[in-house]
Chains A and B, each alone.
Chain A
């Protein structure tokens, strides 16, 4: 059967499943729309949160970034899992005890200030919309590939599908749909990885295969990879090349951001009890770890496979011929991906072969001249295609390729839907019902929620036309924003009783503003190209790249909140009582609507 038809079948079947579940579990009341009636078991909740969490960034983009950079991008692995430790220890049980629906409700009540609540809503919107931009990039790549069209049209079609999908139901529909999506995406990620690990190392567990022996050469896999990439003039895969300070800050920023993202925190409002909130964070990480322990193996093995495909007889022999790329079925993936505009090659020296090497490396100039090479001829390899192309690169059966297409879409869609839900609840529940029009009917609130979802998609697509980086990098910016604004406010709200309304507002605003400005200075104002004054190759503050600045922003937030609070009036007694009650699990009833 034709691969195109097979992809359509897999994607179509998985979508029918999700939409069927969403319709079956359709939300009727606002309470169900936001928090699924709190009847969700920790394991189920963990699985749904994992699907919600693992987005296009984790599934489609991350392994590609690791593959082409190596050790330095380990930050994604540690950052996006380590955040769950912070969430489980510092936030989840207390927010569940507090028992409201949204993050901004907690901030509004704890800091007894409508201004604080509004500032929190603004912070959530900025972080969530940046996040959706990254998701839409991934959706564009996935739709572009499986419909075999340009990534731009993939993005447009993807946006329509995401919208149609997200308005179907609220959290309740989404929870059970996301369990199904988790199953699809984890199979889609691990099955090809197992095949490839078996091919290369004979070990069926990719995480072990990564540290195992490369069967063909008898050397350790990573040593073999290091040797091949350095032969081609690239930097050693397993060594550290970037700044240590930047790596620490970047990892920290991703960790704090994880614990500050509204769509993840919202999940912990939906477990029945405080103790379940603690377990739930653990189960979530179990399901996430299945992918995250596999991802570094996917990255390293794909890099090895690509290098060997481009140099089929070793790096000292001739490179692959243009003829082979055009006719040999082993290289058919290159032609299909070329259609998306995300992969490209050019026979610059006209020798009928495609030399893939690092032409910026001075040490290779001599070899290049001797062989008549005129620059790297694999001219375009978008990092975001690596995972989706991986099964084709490894020449795996057609059904695996179809499964991966379905998994990539599941990852992007589930997160986009969760984020849209967080955005819509921020607008309709916190902004409109909480502030502007308190007497709004339930029906109008649901309507407003859906309109704000549509608006968020339009904004994300417009900004996503000029994405500030690969999908995972865009998403990393969103984490920086959440890290600098939301996490410190939540943590101080629980652990530091002395922080008052003025301090919290000043902290959140300063954290958000410095981080946003730092990002815009490096990535362009509103991500418009050529409006940036600095680049991440040579950042404003020494080694601190814009993707790492969230950790600095969070420190600014903590410091400002502390200083301002200590200069202004102590919080009133009822707030001190509230802080005490949040700290003790006993008496956690079902949560109530705050109005």
Chain B
């Protein structure tokens, strides 16, 4: 496989990770925290509901997990494709 093809494979794997991560990012904040909140209204969390918890706590925790997962996964992908920094 030529270097160009491999770079393209690396890039499309990266774009795939980004899209999956952004889907989760949108689901917990815009989804659970705002638009889908009425659907989660039945699940109560300490005096409020699950949507309220996602809007004020949960989404932030998920954001953290997403960034660290992406950093770890990409550094692994860099090595798999031999494009890591020397």
* Residues in A lying within 8 Å of B, measured CB to CB: 71, 74, 77-78, 81-82, 84-85, 88-90, 93, 207, 210-213, 219-226, 238, 240, 244, 247-248, 251-252, 273-275, 278-279, 281-282, 285-286, 289, 292-293, 296, 495, 580, 583-588
Residues B15-60 near A (CB distance < 8 A): 15, 18, 21-22, 25, 29-30, 33-35, 37, 45-49, 52-53, 55-57, 59-60
17 pairs from A and B in contact (CB 8 Å cutoff): A89-B18, A210-B46, A221-B47, A223-B48, A238-B52, A248-B30, A248-B34, A251-B30, A252-B30, A289-B61, A583-B14, A584-B10, A584-B83, A585-B85, A586-B78, A586-B82, A586-B86
With a cutoff of 8 Å between Cβ atoms, the chain B residues found around residue A251 in the complex are: 29-30, 33-34
Q: Which residues of B contact A77 (CB under 8 A)?
A: 55-56, 59-60
Judging by beta carbons under 8 Å apart, are A223 and B64 in contact?
no
The A-contacting residues of B in range 53-86, CB under 8 angstroms, are: 53, 55-57, 59-61, 63-64, 66-68, 70-71, 74-75, 78, 82-86
Cβ-defined contact, A74 with B56, below 8 A: yes
In the complex, which residues of chain A have a beta carbon less than 8 angstroms from the beta carbon of B71? 88, 275, 278-279, 281-282
Option from A82, A580, A588 in Cβ contact (under 8 Å) with B25: A82
Q: Knowing A85-B25, A85-B67 touch, does A207 contact B57 (C-beta < 8 A)?
A: yes
Q: Tell me, in angstroms, the Cα distance from A381 to B11 when the chains sit together.
A: 53
Q: Is the interface of A mostly helix, strand, loop or mixed?
A: helix
- Residues on the B chain within 8 Å of A286, using CB: 64
| In the bound complex, CA of A583 to CA of B30 (Å) | 29
Q: Which of A84, A213, A248 contacts B63 (CB 8 A)?
A: A84
On whether the beta carbons of A585 and B83 are closer than 8 Å, the reply is: yes
Q: Are A289 and B10 in contact, with the CB atoms below 8 A?
A: no
- Chain A residues near B11: list those with CB within 8 A: 583
Instruction: Determine which of B7, B34, B68 lies in contact with A247 in the assembled complex, contact meaning CB atoms within 8 Å.
Output: B34
Pairwise interchain contact B70-A88, C-beta atoms closer than 8 A = yes
Quick check: B55 and A78 within 8 Å, CB to CB? yes
Residues of B within 8 A of A210 (CB): 46, 56-57
4 closest cross-chain pairs (CB), A and B: A220-B47, A211-B46, A222-B47, A74-B55
A85 CA to B11 CA in the complex, in Å?
A: 19
A286 to B66, CA, bound (A): 12
Known interface pairs A71-B52, A244-B35, A251-B30; A282-B64 also in contact (CB < 8 Å) = yes
A286 to chain B, nearest CB (A): 6
Tell me which residues across on chain B come within 8 A of A81, comparing CB atoms. Answer: 59-60, 63
Q: Which residues of A contact B22 (CB under 8 A)?
A: 85, 89
Contact B52 A282 (CB under 8 A): no
Whether B56 and A85, one on each chain, are in contact in the complex, defined by CB atoms closer than 8 angstroms, is no
Instruction: A146 to B38: give the CA distance in the assembly, Å.
Output: 44
Closest to B55 in A: A74
Contacts A85-B63, A583-B11: A223 and B47 contacting too (C-beta < 8 A)? yes
Contact status of A212 and B46, CB under 8 A, knowing A251-B34, A275-B75: yes
The residue in chain A whose Cβ has the minimal distance to the Cβ of B70 is A89
| Contact between chains at B34 and A244 (CB < 8 Å) | yes
Which single residue of chain A is at the shortest CB-CB distance from B81?
Answer: A584
CB distance from B85 to the nearest CB of A (A): 5
Q: Find chain B residues with CB under 8 A from A220 CB.
A: 46-48
Residue on B with the closest CB to A300? B56
Of listed B11, B46, B84, residue having the most chain A CB within 10 A: B46
